């Protein structure tokens, strides 16, 4: 069956196919012993909410449209591949339900009075208990400040999660974080990422603004337990229930490692974007650095790429600026005083000494200053981006607690006050 690629066309094609003989049929034998073929269609279709299949068709339509626009040049960015089939055993189980309102009653209800405050009601599924407190979300919905659009049910590491997508105008970044005047935005601050010190931030004057030492290193801490759980998986018979349970235990251990790392990176990123409007990073080739077998585990445990991604979208929320120096910019070998590029420094050398002018500085501070100077030279006439309060904003956690939105001065906050929700994702 050849159909157009829009979501509605795919939904109509699925509705026509689900009642056909190709979807399901069975043999019916009468009392005389003669057999006939009866078309049953999808017999289990009535047990599943129709929006599950409809939203899957909408996603497929978007993927096909993106692939076609990428081939024709209408879609900017990298080349999009053709959508591939997602096998059930190799993908994360997930489905999405759209919230509909009928007779003034929403199909997705949070904290139903008949079920209790920590509950959510989904169509065709019923009432489900949740672990998190839904008080703030219920108040927003009751006051008309938020409207539920979707609910996504997913399973990761053996734990089911319900993500509620709401439309809330007051959560738009332009209203949460009013932009500061251009004169008060401050200069560029370079951020050098490393292993001994995860983050070292400095401005163009050589003043160190932040140094984050002794990160948690969750992978190194959990490595003995991960090895033990991995051995348990290999000793179980393939396809057995014991092996499935062992795989789930191993996945939960890896999930906890990722959560600990992500929580710490969010705290560091929040501190940086709260105190500085202009941040300069280095475009590190992380995939190439991971080829070093001696440093691959430490680099993966540090989460350099994830930290840069978090800083990027959080700074975008607040209307700040983030720039990246080229990959081959010699920030470590260049002297921040006379701008002379020296020889490469091994990782064991922690103090930078210039052979030309005799300047001496900490290795990480010198690299951060060079990044700040590069950003100042290449972004002289740029202004902080202006945001339209009426425009659609990015996805924001409704449980995220925020203050007045105005950035405090440097030193007024610490990384400890910028944590994220325990069970939330960016």
List residues with catalytic annotation: 192, 282, 364
d(CA 14, CA 9): 9
Question: DSSP assignment, residue 131?
Answer: S
CB atoms under 10 Å from CB of 175, counted, come to 14
Catalogue the long-range contacts made by 175-182 (C-beta closer than 8 Å, 24 or more residues apart). Answer: 175/389, 175/405, 176/317, 176/402, 176/405, 177/317, 177/318, 177/319, 177/402, 177/405, 177/406, 177/407, 178/405, 178/406, 179/318, 179/319, 179/384, 179/386, 179/387, 180/277, 180/406, 180/407, 182/383, 182/384
Count the Cβ atoms, other than its own, within 10 Å of residue 404. Answer: 9
Q: What are phi and psi of 367, to 5 degrees?
A: -65, -40
Helix (H/G/I), strand (E/B), else coil: 223? helix
């Amino acid at each position: 069956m050849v159909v157009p690629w829009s979501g509605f066309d795919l939904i109509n094609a699925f509705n026509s196919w689900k009642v056909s003989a190709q979807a399901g049929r069975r043999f019916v034998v009468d009392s005389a012993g003669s057999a006939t073929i009866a078309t049953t269609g999808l017999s289990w279709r009535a047990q599943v909410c129709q929006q599950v299949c409809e939203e899957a068709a909408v996603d497929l339509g978007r993927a096909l449209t993106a692939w076609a626009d990428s081939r024709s040049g209408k879609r900017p960015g990298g080349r999009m591949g053709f959508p591939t089939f997602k096998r059930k055993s190799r993908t994360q189980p997930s489905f999405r339900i759209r919230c509909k309102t009928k007779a003034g009653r929403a199909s997705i209800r949070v904290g139903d009075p008949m079920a209790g405050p920590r509950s959510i009601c989904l169509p065709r599924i019923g009432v489900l208990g949740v672990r998190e407190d839904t008080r703030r979300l219920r108040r927003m919905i009751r006051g008309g400040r938020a409207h539920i659009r979707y609910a996504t049910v997913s399973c990761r590491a053996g734990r089911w999660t319900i993500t509620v997508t709401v439309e809330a105008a007051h959560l738009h970044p332009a209203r949460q974080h009013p932009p500061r005047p251009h004169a008060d935005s401050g200069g560029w601050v370079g951020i050098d990422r490393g292993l001994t010190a995860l983050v070292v931030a400095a401005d163009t004057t050589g003043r160190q603004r932040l140094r984050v030492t002794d990160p948690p290193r969750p992978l190194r801490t959990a490595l003995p337990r991960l090895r033990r759980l991995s051995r348990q998986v290999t000793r179980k018979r393939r396809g057995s229930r014991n092996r499935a349970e062992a795989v789930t235990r191993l996945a939960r251990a890896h999930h906890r490692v990722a959560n600990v790392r992500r929580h710490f990176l969010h705290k560091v990123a929040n501190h940086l974007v709260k105190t500085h409007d202009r941040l300069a990073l280095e475009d590190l080739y992380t995939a190439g650095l991971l080829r070093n077998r001696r440093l691959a585990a430490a680099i993966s445990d540090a989460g350099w790429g994830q930290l840069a991604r978090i800083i990027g979208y959080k700074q975008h929320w607040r209307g700040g600026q983030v720039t990246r120096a080229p990959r081959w910019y010699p920030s470590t070998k260049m002297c921040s005083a006379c701008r002379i590029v020296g020889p490469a420094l091994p990782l064991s050398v922690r103090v930078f000494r210039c052979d030309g002018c005799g300047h001496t500085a900490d290795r990480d501070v010198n690299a951060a200053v060079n990044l700040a100077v590069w950003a100042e030279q290449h972004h002289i006439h740029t202004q902080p981006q202006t945001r339209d309060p009426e425009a659609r904003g990015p996805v924001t956690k409704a449980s995220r607690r925020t203050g007045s939105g105005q950035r405090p001065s440097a030193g007024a906050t610490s990384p400890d006050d910028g944590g994220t929700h325990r069970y939330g994702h960016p």
